[in-house]
Structure 1
Amino acid sequence: MHPAFSVVFFTTATGAGYGLLALLGVLGGLQLIPPDFWLGLTGLGLALGLVAAGLLSSTGHLGRPERAWRAFSQWRSSWLSREGVASVITFIPAGLFGIGWVFFGRTDGWVGIAGILTACCAVVTVGTTGMIYASLKPIAQWHSRFTLPGYFIFSAMTGSVLLNALMQSFDVGSKTLLAACVLLTVIGWGWKLTTWRYNDRLEIPTTANTATGLAGGTVRSSEWPHTEENYLLKEMGFRIARKHSAKLRLITQALAFALPVLLLAVTSALPWPFAAAPSVLAATVQFAGMLVERWLFFAEAKHTVTLYYGR
């Protein structure tokens, strides 16, 4: 699949944003985070800013971005439409939670309930985003048991590392949160390696023979269907060299997983305010690594329609 940057940024930014928003909602709603004005303003501003930037970025891949609102009408049958509806609904409890935290300085009572609802809505939205890709049967690399859990894992991973950076910056960090960040990053690393291993061994069940119904022989095209590149080849038939893929996988592992774990370990050994720098760097590096990971997620996917073009 063609890895358009708008969609790559959308999946990365919203995943991190919703992950951070869910953690703020749960921990804030349970009064496990102090209702500090600047912490609430910065944390919720960052989370909602990432979500909004990602959603706006996703419209850049549309032929007519001004018609993006029409996607909301197909929520009964389309995961894309459900994702849009869920993302908008999430802003309602998130707004109430933000008002209570920032303007009233409290996270208990109705503010806490709004925080829990915000977390629930964020989790549902991440799930609908994952299902956009997991539900696509023509793309075997996505239509697997690894796609949807991967979205939840990476959202929790990036969200927790962002939260740790915020907490360390405001001198309210905790060893428990640091340990959770390391654990989630290691789990994400293992999940990504397992997914790659599965995809590399994947045998596409559909061939030119089964697609045409002409079993018993070898079906091949006598000439190319088109004389020049078309939309299907550009969007569905993107190819990446094996050596480039291997190099980008190493970059992903270094930036998204290995370096953040190392920086988080350094954070645990430093007192405040020195612990803030490696925490922020870990979040920044991990976000960059997840951009590479998302690019590969699209670039390595193969659509069944490419069989028509002899690929």
Structure 2
Amino acid sequence: MHPAFSVVFFTTATGAGYGLLALLGTLGGFQIIPPDFWLGFIGMGLALGLIVAGLLSSTGHLGRPERAWRAFSQWRSSWLSREGVASVITFIPAGLFGIGWIFFGKTDGWVGIAGSLAAIGAIITVCTTGMIYASLKPIAQWHSRFTLPGYVIFSAMTGSVLLNALLQGFALGSKVQLAACLLLTLTGWGWKLATWRYNDRLEIPTTANTATGLAGGTVRSLEWPHTEENYLLKEMGFRIARKHGARLRQITQLLAFALPLGLLAIVFALPWPPAALLSVLAAVIQFAGMLVASWLFFAEAKHTVTLYYGR
């Protein structure tokens, strides 16, 4: 698949934003973090800012962005539409939670309930995003048991590292919270490796023979359908060289997992403010790594429509 940067950024930004929103809503709803004005202002601003930036970026891949609103009408059958509906609904409790936390200085009562509802909405929205790709049968690399859990795991991972940077910046970090970041990052690393291993061993059952129903021998095209690249080949037939894919996988592991793990492990032994600086650096590096991982997620996927073009 063609890895358009608008969709790559959308996947990474909204995943991190919804992960952070879910954690803020949960911790705020249970009064685990204080109802500080600046903590709420920066935390909710960062979470909602990432979500909005990602959603706006996704419209850049549309031929007619002004018609994006029409996607909301197909929620009965389309996961893309369900994602749009869930994202809009989530903004309602998230907005109430942010108002109560920032302007009223409280996270209990109705503010806590709004925070919990925002967390639930964030999780549902991430799941709908994952199902957009997991439901696509023509793309075997996505239509697997790894896609949906992967979206949830990576959202929780990036959200927790962002939350750690936020709390460390206000000198509110804890050993338990740091340990959770390390555990989620290790889980994300293991899940990504397992996904790559599954995709590398994947045997796609559809071939030119099965598509035409001609058993025996080898079916091949006598003439190509087009004399030059068309829309389908550009969007669905994108190919990446194996050596480039291997190098990008190494970069993903380094930036998204290895370096953040090393930096967060060092934070355990550092006082404030060096701990805060390394925590922010870990979050920035991991976000960059997840951009590369998201690019690979699209670039390494193969659509069965390319069989029509002899690929």
Instruction: Using structure 1 for the length normalisation, give the TM-score.
Output: 1.00
Per-residue displacement from partner, 1:254-297 (whole Å, max 9, x unpaired)? 00000000000111110111110100000000000000000000
Please provide the CA RMSD for this pair. 0.4
Cα distance in structure 2, aligned partners of 1:207 and 1:274: 56
1:66 partner amino acid: E
Cα distance in structure 2, aligned partners of 1:55 and 1:238: 24
Q: Which stretches of structure 1, 4 residues or longer, exceed 3 Å deviation after superposition?
A: none
Tell me, yes or no, if structure 1 residue 211 matches structure 2 residue 221.
Answer: no
Cα distance in structure 1, aligned partners of 2:260 and 2:57: 26
Pairwise mapping of residues 244-255 of structure 1 onto structure 2 (< 5 A)?
244-255=244-255
Cα distance in structure 1, aligned partners of 2:53 and 2:87: 12
Per-residue displacement from partner, 1:136-168 (whole Å, max 9, x unpaired)? 000000000000000000000000000000000
Structure-1 residue corresponding to 2:92: 92
Structure-1 residue corresponding to 2:257: 257
Structure-1 residue corresponding to 2:82: 82
Identity %: 86
Instruction: Using structure 2 for the length normalisation, give the TM-score.
Output: 1.00
Structure-2 residue corresponding to 1:35: 35
Cα distance in structure 2, aligned partners of 1:240 and 1:268: 40
Structure-1 residue corresponding to 2:177: 177
Structure-2 residue corresponding to 1:232: 232
Pairwise mapping of residues 35-54 of structure 1 onto structure 2 (< 5 A)?
35-54=35-54
2:106 partner amino acid: R
Task: Note the C-alpha offset of 1:223.
Answer: 1.7
Cα distance in structure 2, aligned partners of 1:265 and 1:277: 13
1:162 partner amino acid: L
Pairwise mapping of residues 131-142 of structure 1 onto structure 2 (< 5 A)?
131-142=131-142
Structure-1 residue corresponding to 2:301: 301
Per-residue displacement from partner, 1:13-33 (whole Å, max 9, x unpaired)? 000000000000000100000
Cα distance in structure 2, aligned partners of 1:276 and 1:257: 19
Structure-2 residue corresponding to 1:282: 282
Cα distance in structure 2, aligned partners of 1:184 and 1:213: 46
Tell me, yes or no, if structure 1 residue 195 matches structure 2 residue 195.
Answer: yes
Cα distance in structure 2, aligned partners of 1:136 and 1:72: 19
Task: Note the C-alpha offset of 1:117.
Answer: 0.2
Per-residue displacement from partner, 1:104-147 (whole Å, max 9, x unpaired)? 10000110000000000000000000000000000000000000
Task: Note the C-alpha offset of 1:46.
Answer: 0.2
Task: Note the C-alpha offset of 1:217.
Answer: 2.0
1:266 partner amino acid: I
Cα distance in structure 2, aligned partners of 1:226 and 1:66: 31
Q: Any unmatched runs of 5+ in structure 2?
A: none
Task: Note the C-alpha offset of 1:98.
Answer: 0.3
- SS of the residue 1:275 aligns to: helix
Per-residue displacement from partner, 1:33-61 (whole Å, max 9, x unpaired)? 01111000000000000000000000000
Cα distance in structure 1, aligned partners of 2:94 and 2:268: 31
Cα distance in structure 1, aligned partners of 2:234 and 2:273: 49
Structure-2 residue corresponding to 1:13: 13
Task: Note the C-alpha offset of 1:174.
Answer: 0.7
- SS of the residue 1:269 aligns to: coil
Per-residue displacement from partner, 1:60-97 (whole Å, max 9, x unpaired)? 00000000000000000000000000000000000000
Cα distance in structure 2, aligned partners of 1:181 and 1:306: 40
Q: Any unmatched runs of 5+ in structure 1?
A: none
- SS of the residue 1:194 aligns to: helix
